[in-house]
Amino acid sequence: MDVLAPINPASLFSAKGLVVVITGGGSGLGLAIASALYQNGAAKIYLLGRRQNVLDDAIKKLESSPSAPKSSSSVLSAISCDVASLDSVSAAVKQIQEETGYVDVLFNNAGVLGPLNGPDLYRTESIEHLRDTMLRDYDGWGQAMAINTQSVVGVSAAFLPLLEAANTRRGWAAGRVRGGPGDPRVTGKGTPREQDKAVLSELGHDEDDDRLAHIITVASVASFMRYSTAGLAYNASKAAAAQLGKILSSILAEWGIRSNVICPGPYPSEMTSHIEGRYGTDQVPQGRMGNFNDISGLALFLVGKGGAYINGTVQLTDGGRAGVFPATY
């Protein structure tokens, strides 16, 4: 490791040249991530969501902002897509395949709150009241699980060929690379994936850029909390989403695709529009909701060259919230 090599934060935390897909990219955290990557060199960002008008408005807003990069009018694209429908996801994949042919980073960000029985569970005065609160909007679990959890598998799987195409474009060998016959106590004898670095300069990337394609799943601090602030279905579906993000990293290890999980605490969005955003130290030690710096810094770190070695992790961005509730993390 050459500790005297020049270090440039602008290249470590950059989205330069990346093709990115963000589900739920028309509002809240998805839009914030889109804005951060748009302002920092992404070549193409596809925003997916069910409401076309929300996606179109988001793109207009980003493109007309003073912070928009110059000559970037074709970077942002909207695709109407329901992540709970495989047909709808396949249609989005087909469109991106035809237009771009590869995806460097997929954000599984779409989500819903589901049945809202959260804090009421702790306010019940009789066992019957607790029973009824636990069963509130019971049929709503299906949609919450389909969007928050099942889609992590459905959308990730559907995009795998395009993620692999991003790797081969960057000079990586394609297909499955079995690591053995390694001895876990010995280094230097296994079988790594090979990369032809010659193509990197043609693509405008640094020659030490060995980023692999990347799936980033947005779960929640609720994945880990034993206190239910939104509802039991939200906790359960987000715990499962975080777990799937970790499992994907293991499944995809020999396929050259990374998977990481972002677990936000409270951030302003459509989902949290009813929340005032000022917190006591027993709720969010930082005292506030997450802001644009917080999510942008994390997103740029994960997609940038500085995040190349991050794989299979859960990144909490919660102002310390998991530490002040009963939580497993």
Ligand X SMILES: NC(=O)c1ccc[n+]([C@@H]2O[C@H](COP(=O)([O-])OP(=O)(O)OC[C@H]3O[C@@H](n4cnc5c(N)ncnc54)[C@H](OP(=O)(O)O)[C@@H]3O)[C@@H](O)[C@H]2O)c1
Q: Is the CB of 85 or the CB of 97 nearer to ligand X?
A: 85
Q: How far apart are CA 60 and CA 205, in angstroms?
A: 29
What string marks each residue from 16 to 45 as x (binds ligand X by CB under 6 A) or -? Answer: -------xx-xxxxx---------------
For ligand X, give the closer residue by CB, 171 or 266.
266
Pairing of β 76-80 and β 105-108:
unpaired
> What is the spatial distance between Cα 317 and Cα 220, in angstroms, rounded to a whole number?
9
Contact status, residue 67 vs residue 45, Cβ threshold 8 Å: no
Q: How far is the CB of 185 from ligand X (least distance, A)?
A: 40
d(CA 48, CA 84): 12
Closest listed residue to residue 84, CA positions, set 34, 163, 153, 159? 153
- If the CB atoms of residues 76 and 147 are measured against ligand X, the closer one turns out to be 147
Decide if 234 is catalytic: yes
Minimum gap (Å) between residue 217 Cβ and ligand X: 9
Assess 217 for contact with ligand X (CB under 6 A): no
Backbone angles phi, psi at 46, to 5 degrees: -95, 120
Rg, Å, the chain Cα set: 21
Binding mask 176-215 for ligand X (x = CB under 6 A): ----------------------------------------
> x/- contact string, 243-282, with ligand X (CB under 6 A)?
---------------------x-xx-xxxx----------
As a whole number of angstroms, the distance between CA 309 and CA 306 comes to 8
Residue type, 326: P
**Positions that interact with ligand X (CB under 6 A):** 23-24, 26-30, 48-51, 54, 81-84, 109-112, 147, 218, 220, 264, 266-267, 269-272
Residues classed as catalytic: 234
